[in-house]
Every structure is written in C-alpha cells, then in structure tokens.
A and B are shown apart, each in its own frame.
Chain A
Amino acid sequence: MSLISVKNLETKFDNRLIHEGLNLDIKEGEIYGLLGPSGCGKTTLLREMVMLQKYSRGTIKVLGYDLNTISHNQAQSLRRKWGVLFQAGALFSSLSVAENIALGLQEYTDLNKKMIQEIVAFKINLVGLKQSDGLLFPSQISGGMKKKAALARALALDPKLLFLDEPTSGLDPISAREFDSLILKLHELLGLTIVMVSHDLKSIYDTLDKIAVIDNKKIIYEGSLNNIKNEKSEFIRTFFKANL
C-alpha cells in the first residue's frame, strides 16, 4: 500500500519554478530518502507533504487523504498520525523536554497523569536519553540531545509515518551513526514508514531502502541504492563518487 503519492506536482515561488511534473510513491514500511543538490526543493517537498506549504498544481495524497480537498477535521486527525522532526529540533523553548514530549498526549488523549508520565519516560529511554534530561529545558541541552528529544516528541503519539529533515546534520559522526541506528531500530521495532531528507552519504547508505533524487525540478532517479552507480546524471555521479 502506498502511504504517500505525489502526482504531477508543480511548485512556484513568484516566477521561480521549483518543481515541475514531479511524481513519487512511498510504500508502507519503507525508509525513503529525498536527495538532491542544495536548493532543488527537497525540504520544500517535505513541507508540502506535511501541509506547511502550498503547491501550485498537482496532487499529494498522504495516508489516503488528498491534500487538495482535505477538510479541517481530516487535516487535524492526519496531523496526529505523523511525526515530524525538524532540522534544529524546534522544541518549544518554554517547556522542558518531558513537557515537550507530553504535550501531544495531554492535548489529544484522555490519559491520566501517571500514564502520561510513564509513556514519556518510555519514549525518553527509547531514544536513548537519560530520565534526568527530561527536566532540562531546550536551551540547556546540546544539539544531539535536542534531536533525540525532538524525535521522542515526534514519536509521542505512536505515528505510522515519520518525516525527518536532515536528521544527522549538525551531529558529530559518532552521534550521527547512533542516530542512524536509532532510526533503523525504531523502523524495525515499531514498523514505521520514514521519509527523510539527507545529505549525509554514510547515513544514506546505512539507513535508506529507497531513494529519490531531485534535480532540475524533477525526480531523476527513484529506486534502490544498488543501481544508482549506473546513472548518468552529473549530480548523482559526483555525489556517489566516494566509494563507501
């Protein structure tokens, strides 16, 4: 079953064409990567999928909902079914880490306080933070911890779909590999479907099942990593030249 399908997408900023006739299809259980040179519109595409940005033409379907015709209530329930991890974490700075994770649970479920605390403690353990970190505020923790905390927040409502915007950028190589294995582990354990934008070659080889390369407003390659070396595109050749 395909969870996300994008058909004939066109995006225009003023007169600048970002995407034109872009098609892709993301199936359940995949770890799907969006790749491409900077400024090609990867993050824009991700933002369009999570309804943060309007596109000018085409259709995007997420979990069966067509984003062109989605009603307000449907959009709200769709928003509970996915988790989004932003590049810099985007934790709410007035709330502690634990409160950040608990926020969705408090707003959307009728669970009691003790249960919420238990769930929060579990998510904190799951992403590899310490329980005492939950009391800290976002301004008091490091970049890597922010990412982990933001991941825990994204996972709070047990989403089926997880969007990651450059999950390993700004992390040191060791933390980056840890984060990769964390994502793989969560994928395996919780059966998540993951869509990510990444520039990190090691992370791409380690985690992704399927990639889509965007260049020149279109998808120039969609498929597994095995066949990528045979592609003729300039970007793909330079990007994957490093033999890993």
Chain B
Amino acid sequence: MSGNLEIKYKGTELTLFFRGEFSLYNISHFETQLKTLNKPSLTHVDIDLNALTYLDTSASLFLNSFTKKLNKNNISYTLICGSKELLDTLNLTDKYSNKNDNVIPSKTSFIESIGKKSYDNFLGLLDFFAFLGKLFSTKIHLIRNFSSIRYKEMAFEINESAIKALGIIALTSFLIGLVVAYQGAYQLKTYGANIFIVDMLGISILRELSPIITAIVIAGRSGSAYTAQIGAMKITEELDAMRTMGFDPYLFLVLPRIIALMVMMPVLIFISDIMAIIGGMIVANVDLDITVNMFLDRFLIAIDIKHFYVGVFKGPFFAFLIATIGIYRGMAVKNDTQSIGFNTTKSVVESIFAVIMCDALFSIIFTNLGI
C-alpha cells in the first residue's frame, strides 16, 4: 500500500499531487500532511490525481469532504483527473455519502435510566408471576388428566440432573464434613469436650449444611443447564415449533424437569448427609481418637431423627425454586446469543439467593414451632 502526496506552492496557488495508491490505510497519513497547509492565504488549489493508480471509496470520501471544506473557505479548486474510473468512484461516494446530519443516539439521563430499569424489573416480576400461574394451571390439568404425565421425559431428567450429579455432591459433602469436623475438633480439644463433635456435626450437617450444599451444587450444575437448554431451544424457535404442533412446552419441558428435581432432591440430600457424616467420622477418629463405634453410639443418643426429617423436608422446596427459576430464565432468553449467558448467570445467582432466603424462612418457622 504505497502512495505519496506532494504539495507544491505557487504564490497563493497550490497543487496537490497524489501518487500511487490512496486507500483506507494511508488516509490519516495524508490528513496530517494536509493539516499543515496555510489555508487563509490560499485562493486556488489544483488536485492532481493523474498519477493515482488506486482509489478506494473511503479515500474518495475523504477527498470529497476535503473539497467541500475548500468550498466553505472560499478557495476554488480544480480536479485534474484523466481516469474515468476514479471520477466514477468520486461521484459514487458523493452520491451515497451522508448528506443529512448524523443520527445521534439519544442520551438517557441517570434518573431516566433508573426509572427504565425499575420498570423493566417490575415487568420481569409480573412475567415471573405469569409463569408461575401457567405452571400452576398446567399442574391442575395434569392432576385431572393423570395419563398425560410424561414419564419418559421425567425419567430422563432424573438421570440427567440428579443421578449424574451424585458423584460431585458426594465428594463436596464429604469434604465439607471433613473440614467442619477438623475446625471443630481443634476447638473442642482445648476443652476436653471431644465427644461433642458428634452433636455438633450431626445437627449442623443434617439440618443445614447438607440441604444447602446440595441445593447450591444442583443450582450451579442442573439449574444453569435448564436455562441454557431452554434458552437455546427458544433461539432456534424449537419452543414455537412445539407450540404450533400442539405440544405444550410446559407439559413436555417444564413440568418433567421440576418434578424430577423435586423427587430427587431428598434423595440427594440423604446421600449428602451420609457422606458428610463419614467425613466427620474420619476426622473424629484420627484427630480426637473417637472410634467409629463410639461415634455411632453417641449419634444414636444425641441426634434426634427430627433433624434428619427437617433437612430432607426442605429438599423439594429448594428443588422447586431452582427448577422454576432456571426454566423461567431459559424462557426469558431473547433472540440473541448474549442473552443466554446473561440469563444463565442470573438463573444461578437468583436460585442460590432464593434457596438461602427459603432456608432462613424455614429456620424461623421451625424454631418457632419448636422442631
């Protein structure tokens, strides 16, 4: 891309010789050269394009606006150009260049953007209620027509989003049990209250830790998958296709996922309980010299069965929150790729938040009920 510009003064007249190629890549170079011109003293400019071998549309745009500037400053100019092609390019760019003022994107003020955002959020909330309503009515329909339950889809989802998550949940819970016991052991040892590690572990894991850990893992693993799957289906118009063919997406996609997770969550929490307690047991054995038999004896005496029930009872509620938020976010995906990422993030954050809120609520209720 070689080209050069020679500037020759003759009194108040000026000749510009353009040579070689004049394109996108050397416009700014020429522009700096032209800026050094002493404009007020000029009366006439000759623009010589005869030695130009190539002129692209961007460069001719630049030339056109340069000649316009000359006109504005009352400087006459002549275009010396033998080639018809170059003239055509110049005419073309002039014809299609933007004559009107540029459209300037309207700026929104701070207050306006707050208002817009709040209104959007409000609409989002209404949307979520509409979604819940539709879900509820589909459930009613399902109870009336029991045979239309999609067992196959449900079994598939149970395998995809729960059974395949067993490994990671077992491992996470085992490590959490290990860590909690290890930290607790250190404190208990100073008081010689070694055996109370069983009480501490039993109640905290069964009641709170296992359900929450399980819910967080499932929200990150299965809830996000729901959003991405359903979002992608929405972009490829699969949901619309299902609707036109008379398959209600709520019946085929939404309910099987929600029910699958609600059924499986207590099972996952149970597994998580076992693994976390095993983790704690190992630390108790190694660190505090509490044998497995001693641990289990104490466990039977100290830990009421109600703690286990409380933990497992929360499961379906957490599952409902995770699945509905995940699917709702999937349905909220708009017709562009960015929206999938945005909604997946939102789905995970919102469902974890909802789970913790729900847990706090249960905590208050159970304490007041004396459970």
Interfacial residues, chain A to chain B (CB-CB below 8 A): 93-94, 105, 108-112, 115, 117-119, 121-122, 124-126, 131-132, 134-135, 137-139, 157-158, 189-191
Contact = CB atoms under 8 A, between A and B. Distances in A.
Given A131-B102, A139-B336, 6 more contacts: A108-B24, A115-B27, A118-B61, A118-B98, A157-B24, A189-B89
Given A121-B98, A125-B97, A135-B105, A158 B24 contact: yes
Contacts of A110: 25, 28
Given A93-B336, A126-B96, A117 B102 contact: yes
Contacts of B100: 131
Given A118-B97, A158-B56, A111 B24 contact: yes
A244 B105 CA distance: 46
Contacts of A190: 57, 89, 92
Contact of B96 (A105, A122, A191): A122
A118 B65 CA distance: 10
B97 A121 contact: yes
B338 A94 contact: yes
B23 interface: yes
Contacts of B93: 122
- Ranked nearest first, the 5 interchain pairs of A and B with the lowest CB-CB distance are A121-B98, A93-B336, A158-B56, A125-B96, A139-B336
A93 B337 contact: yes
A63 B61 CA distance: 26
Nearest to A137: B336
B97 A139 contact: no
B58 interface: yes
A131 B61 contact: no
A112 B56 CA distance: 17
B189 interface: no
Nearest to B97: A122
A138 B96 CA distance: 23
B108 to A, nearest CB: 13
B336 A134 contact: no
Nearest to A105: B24
Contacts of B112: none
Contacts of A115: 27-28, 31, 58, 61-62
Nearest to A155: B57
B92 A134 contact: no
A124 B100 CA distance: 13
A119 B24 CA distance: 10
B259 to A, nearest CB: 33
Contacts of B24: 105, 108-109, 111, 157-158
A94 B342 CA distance: 12
A122 B57 contact: yes
Contacts of A135: 103, 105
Contact of A139 (B25, B103, B335): B335
A208 B359 CA distance: 68
A186 to B, nearest CB: 10
Contacts of B25: 108-110
Contact of A109 (B28, B61, B88): B28
Interface in B326-340: 334-338
20 contacts: A94-B336, A108-B25, A109-B25, A115-B28, A118-B98, A119-B57, A119-B61, A121-B97, A121-B98, A122-B57, A122-B96, A122-B97, A126-B57, A126-B96, A131-B103, A134-B103, A139-B334, A139-B335, A158-B56, A190-B89
A115 B97 CA distance: 12
A135 B207 CA distance: 54
A122 B91 CA distance: 12
A140 to B, nearest CB: 9
A124 B93 CA distance: 12
Interface in B83-132: 85, 88-89, 92-93, 96-98, 100, 102-103, 105
A134 B104 CA distance: 10
A125 B98 contact: yes
A121 B96 CA distance: 9
A108 B57 CA distance: 16
Nearest to B92: A189
Contact of B88 (A93, A94, A134, A189): A189
Nearest to B23: A158
B27 A111 contact: yes
A170 to B, nearest CB: 13
Contacts of A132: 103
B302 to A, nearest CB: 57
A59 B101 CA distance: 50
A187 to B, nearest CB: 13
B26 to A, nearest CB: 9
Contacts of A122: 57, 61, 93, 96-98
Contacts of A112: 28, 31
Nearest to B335: A139
Interface in B23-69: 23-25, 27-28, 31, 56-58, 61-62, 65
